[in-house]
């Protein structure tokens, strides 16, 4: 009889704690709820076409590109390595234009995006 009372009391405490925790738990938004919120927001596209002159920190040089291959001998003519397909080389600073700005840009040893 004594053990039944202890077990009953423990079960009552466990159920009470579970009910209190469930009542205090915040409802998690579904993807549909989040979509409804996002539809009301204004988004600004900060991307730029990747080309010479793209906005960048003025302490960095402008981007350079070289035509390696062009489709044929028609304008702009053969690239420096020939014809047959289109290929360019791009040369620019790693922190170029609109980009992800990891903390490692400013503090040695912090995380990078790679």
pLDDT in tens, the chain (114 residues): 576 777 767 677 887 777 666 666 677 889 999 999 999 999 888 777 777 788 788 888 888 889 999 999 888 888 899 999 999 998 888 777 656 666 777 788 887 766
Tokens of 5: 């009372």
3 state SS of 80: coil
Please give the span between the terminal C-alpha atoms of the chain, in angstroms, as a whole number.
Answer: 65
Query: ∠ at Cα 48 (97, 66), nearest 5°?
Result: 75
- 58-to-48, 53, 100 alpha-carbon distances in Å: 16, 11, 18
Q: How far apart are CA 39 and CA 37, in angstroms?
A: 6
Q: How far apart are CA 104 and CA 77, in angstroms?
A: 42
**What integer pLDDT is reported at residue 35 of this predicted model?**
92
Sheet-wide strand order for 82-83 = 82-83, 64-70, 87-91
What is this structure's pTM?
A: 0.46
């Amino acid at each position: 009889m004594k053990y039944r009372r202890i077990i009953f009391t423990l079960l009552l405490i466990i159920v009470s704690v579970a009910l209190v925790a469930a009542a205090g738990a915040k409802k998690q938004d579904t993807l549909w709820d989040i979509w409804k919120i996002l539809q009301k927001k204004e988004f600004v596209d900060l991307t730029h076409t990747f080309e010479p002159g793209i906005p960048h920190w003025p302490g960095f040089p402008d981007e350079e590109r070289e035509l390696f291959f062009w489709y044929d001998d028609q304008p702009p003519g053969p690239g420096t390595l020939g014809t047959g397909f289109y290929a360019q080389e791009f040369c620019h600073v790693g922190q170029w234009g609109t980009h992800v700005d990891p903390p490692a840009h400013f503090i040695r040893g912090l995380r990078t995006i790679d």
